[in-house]
Chains A and B, each alone.
Chain A
Amino acid sequence: MSLSYLLKRCGLTAYTLIVVSLIVFAVTQVLPGDAATMLLGENATPAALAAVRDRLGLDAPIWVQYGHWLGGVLQGDFGTSLRTGQAVGPVMVEALGRSLLLAVLAIGFMLSLALPLGILAAVRRGRAADLLVGFVSYIGVSLPEFVTATLFGLLFADWLQWLPATGYVPMTENPASSLAHLVLPVLTVSVMLIAHVSRMVRSELVDVLHTDYIRAARLKGLSARAVLLKHGLRNALLPTITIVALDVGYLLGGVIVVEEIFALPGIGRQLIVAIEARDLPAIQAGALIMAATYSVVNFAADVAYAWLDKRIQYD
């Protein structure tokens, strides 16, 4: 992995973020009804609208607004929310932290289930266990999060009353309660990931088990277990890194719905509120942070892949 490769990837990430910011800016500019209408609601008189637009700088030409915004971002200032008057940056970063906690727990939980299930299905290919895992994973990928979330809430919070229905408690306030509140959101976003990743692990492993060098290893007289562990898994799990990284994109979309339903004040919920309120600086910051997270995770996955791949090749 050369320095120029790293530099190129960094450049691409920067390009990505600029494209994203331009798209978001363009989209929000043409949205009907601006932040001033939204802020004042039914109390908007022409004079009040003009005053608020003036205060928020909504009357400046688009490119001036964009330039002003970009200049601020380069200095680490994401601007002030048109809705609350608070600085957007710190609010979004705090929200991102909560979403990341959700995402990390979900990925951890997902891996702890998806890997064994995928391996089981591949090893028992065509048998009952495989069919069962396959069937369940089809259901998993076919349920939208808002349906899963609602059904989980109905089951675990309302009928069984095992878990709090929604809400968020900071870790620092009460760790046990904080985790209890995270269980349902984590379960919900994990469902589709588990279904997807276990299928991927299965198909990768099935492919690997049919490659020549596995056959060669078998011919050498290695036990089935040794073949699976030493050669099969290593090679099959490698692409999983990329798949998981790509699934982060899905995960980020998923948290939007899940945070809305479970009243988790993460970045997805911030974005929904911001979009409704036409709060341009908040939408910009939220979308940028999401895109940046996705880019960075995939960048890291590519680097990890290349590094591990090399190790395996020379092993």
Chain B
Amino acid sequence: MFKLAAIDRRRFIAGTAALGALTLPLRRGFAAAPKRGGTLRVSVDQAVTKLNPLQTRVNCEYLVAELLYSGLTRLGINMMPEPDLAHSWSYSADLTEWTFKLREGLVFHDGTPCTAADVVASFEAILDPKTASPALQNVGPIAQVTATDKTSVVFKLSAPFADLPVTLAYTNAKIVPAAIAKSGLARLDQQAIGTGPFKLVSFEPERLVSVVRNEAYYDKDRPYLDRIDVLVYPDTTAEGSALISGDTDMMVSVQPTEYARLKNSAGVRTLKVPSGQFCNIILGCDQKPFDDVRVRRALALTIDRPTLVDFVVEGYGTPGNDAPLSSAYRFYADQPIAKPDIAQAKKLLAEAGYPGGLTATLIASDKPSVRTQLAVAVREMAKPAGFTIDVQTMPHSTYLDQVWKKGPFYVGFYNMQATADAIFSLLYTSNAAWNETHWNNAAFDKLVGEARTTVDEARRRALYADAQKLMHDEVPSIIPVFFDLLGAQRDYVQRYQLHPRGAVFRLDFVSLGEGAPKRG
């Protein structure tokens, strides 16, 4: 009975959805200037607990921070840096000194001017370990920041670095007033004083964050919306239902299990973009049994990657090849996807000294739930080759405290980074901030290190291709699947594009078209 109803409805709505897809480009062509005004209601799946832009950690907090604050640069949909507070930049020949020019007449929400001194103070706060800003490890090898005049900022680097304009667009590298950066950052837990396109009206972490247009924003056209309400829906099913019923206008992330339902709902348009977000299985290369590359290869050979994409994300993803770059990255190198080969896996295990198979405990944090789904599926796939895997789930805080970066065998989950260098030197080089596999491969370090100081595109591509090949052969961690990012919106929401990075939203470009509800 349930089944029949579902199929009928799906078939019916599939027809109308196809029609919508046809007319869409046409309508876009006609819409010359975006309409101004209106309130957008965006839902997120988690509480927005941190308002301080230097300390935000999760996507919904990045979303709010992006509305209220600006960085020197921002990350385009194509993963290239775009001007934000800085309108241009230049670099020295050896890539160790970069100069950024600020726009004229920038002001904070409280009316005070925003100058190079504020930029310097903000970066000093970011680089101070006491601030505990995630940006510290992600903004690049910055040694010193100085203001040469009111609108010029010079970054002196400790090593040559080609990606600085991209890393400065990092989610946490936002500019705050110097006075606050120097004393009492805690003030920013309660109020927002930024230069962003919107100003904070109300902040209830568990329920609702409201922002209104910043009339003093540096761009006279944007933002197009008058107001944005960010609503918190801890239950994803509930979040989807709210969009279907029209309570909300947009979901910035959709669970794969909800996607089909939303796609089949009238008035809702689903969005999908391939991303470099992935789950991996960390194999501690410095501990038994995974210190033996044959054991790592054997486990990798048991995994049926396309099936795993179905199991874990309902097919909304692409199989991975144990290197952290997906096709969404600029320097992705295409390699054939490994096919499962149980016989070969058994042989490798026997050669490594485990003819009778081996037993291991695979740990998965409970957040997000794909970690457990992946672990349970891998457990079954590895069984025929002689791996007896015991899956153990634990609360995220316990996992961070006891397992992460320490354990020999667990499930990781990582957002896409802006550059190849960012993901390699975050996770896999010997001096990586989160060197959890302890692979410590000198050849790999050399490739990544050389690419980071190379400007020539073709040369860089070759270096990164070799690095990916090396990871594919040595399997420091199994990266079986990259996730597509999924979102959904009402038909009348215009100019919203899912960003593959996952942590960037660009809602200041969004406007409301015909049919949008009037909201007081």
Contact = CB atoms under 8 A, between A and B. Distances in A.
- Establish whether A and B are touching in the complex (CB under 8 Å): yes
Interface of A: 31-34, 37-38, 40-45, 47-49, 51-52, 83-86, 95, 153, 157-158, 161, 164-168, 260-263, 265, 269-270, 273, 276-278
A33 B398 contact: yes
B359 to A, nearest CB: 25
B484 to A, nearest CB: 22
A38 B396 CA distance: 8
B241 interface: yes
B400 interface: yes
Interface in B377-421: 395-398, 400-402, 404
B460 interface: no
B16 interface: no
Contacts of B247: 164, 167
5 contacts: A33-B402, A34-B397, A43-B134, A45-B137, A165-B238
B373 to A, nearest CB: 20
A34 B133 CA distance: 18
Contacts of B244: 158
B241 A158 contact: yes
A273 B235 CA distance: 13
A153 B190 contact: no
Contacts of A166: 233, 235, 238-239, 241-242
Interface stretch (B85-93, B95-103, B202-210, B496-504): B202-210
A313 B403 CA distance: 66
A273 B242 contact: no
A261 B400 contact: no
Contacts of B132: 40, 43-45, 48-49, 51-52
A33 B395 contact: yes
Nearest to B50: A84
Contacts of B130: 47-48, 51
B238 A43 contact: no
Contacts of A84: 49-50, 189, 205
Contacts, number: 123
Contacts of B395: 32-33, 276
B207 A265 contact: yes
Contacts of B205: 83-84, 86
A45 B497 CA distance: 34
A43 B426 CA distance: 11
A167 B49 contact: no
A51 B206 contact: no
Interface in B425-449: 434
A51 B396 CA distance: 21
A32 B245 contact: no
Contacts of B58: 41
Contacts of A40: 57, 132
A157 B206 contact: no
A38 B365 CA distance: 13
A32 B401 contact: yes
Contacts of A33: 395, 397-398, 400-402
A32 B397 contact: yes
Which 4 A-B pairs give the minimum distances between C-beta atoms? A165-B241, A85-B189, A33-B397, A48-B132
B189 A42 contact: no
A161 B241 CA distance: 10
A34 B204 CA distance: 24
A263 B397 contact: no
Contacts of A85: 186, 189-190
Given A32-B402, A276-B395, A45 B241 contact: no
B47 A168 contact: no
B344 interface: no
A269 B242 contact: no
Contacts of A260: 234-235
Interface string B176-192: 00000000001001100
A200 B227 CA distance: 52
A272 B136 CA distance: 31
Contacts of A45: 129, 132, 136-137
Please indicate which of the listed interface residues B132, B137, B434 has the most CB atoms of chain A within 10 Å of its own CB: B132
Nearest to B414: A42
B186 A43 contact: no
Given A37-B400, A86-B205, A167-B231, A51 B129 contact: yes
Contacts of B233: 166-167, 263
Contacts of B206: 95, 265, 269-270, 273
B228 interface: no
Contacts of A32: 395, 397-398, 401-402
Please indicate which of the listed interface residues A42, A168, A276, A277 has the most CB atoms of chain B within 10 Å of its own CB: A42
A179 to B, nearest CB: 15
Contacts of A158: 241, 244
B232 interface: yes
A43 B57 contact: yes
A153 B237 CA distance: 10
Nearest to B231: A167
Interface string B5-37: 000000000000000000000000000000000
Given A161-B245, A164-B247, A86 B190 contact: yes
A157 B397 contact: no
Nearest to B434: A42
Contacts of A37: 397, 400-401
Please indicate which of the listed interface residues A84, A273, A278 has the most CB atoms of chain B within 10 Å of its own CB: A84
A31 B239 CA distance: 31
A168 B235 contact: no
B134 A262 contact: no
Nearest to B436: A42
Given A86-B190, A263-B234, A153 B241 contact: yes
Given A42-B434, A85-B189, A166-B233, A157 B400 contact: no
B286 to A, nearest CB: 20
Interface in B134-186: 134, 136-137, 186
Contacts of B241: 153, 157-158, 164-166
A173 B35 CA distance: 27
A261 B239 CA distance: 10
Nearest to A31: B397
Contacts of B232: 263, 265
Please indicate which of the listed interface residues A32, A95, A270, A278 has the most CB atoms of chain B within 10 Å of its own CB: A32
Given A43-B137, A273-B206, A263 B57 contact: no
Please indicate which of the listed interface residues B133, B207, B398, B402 has the most CB atoms of chain A within 10 Å of its own CB: B207
Contact of A164 (B234, B245, B398): B245
A24 to B, nearest CB: 17
A104 to B, nearest CB: 20
Please indicate which of the listed interface residues A161, A165, A273, A278 has the most CB atoms of chain B within 10 Å of its own CB: A165
A261 B235 CA distance: 6
A276 B49 CA distance: 13
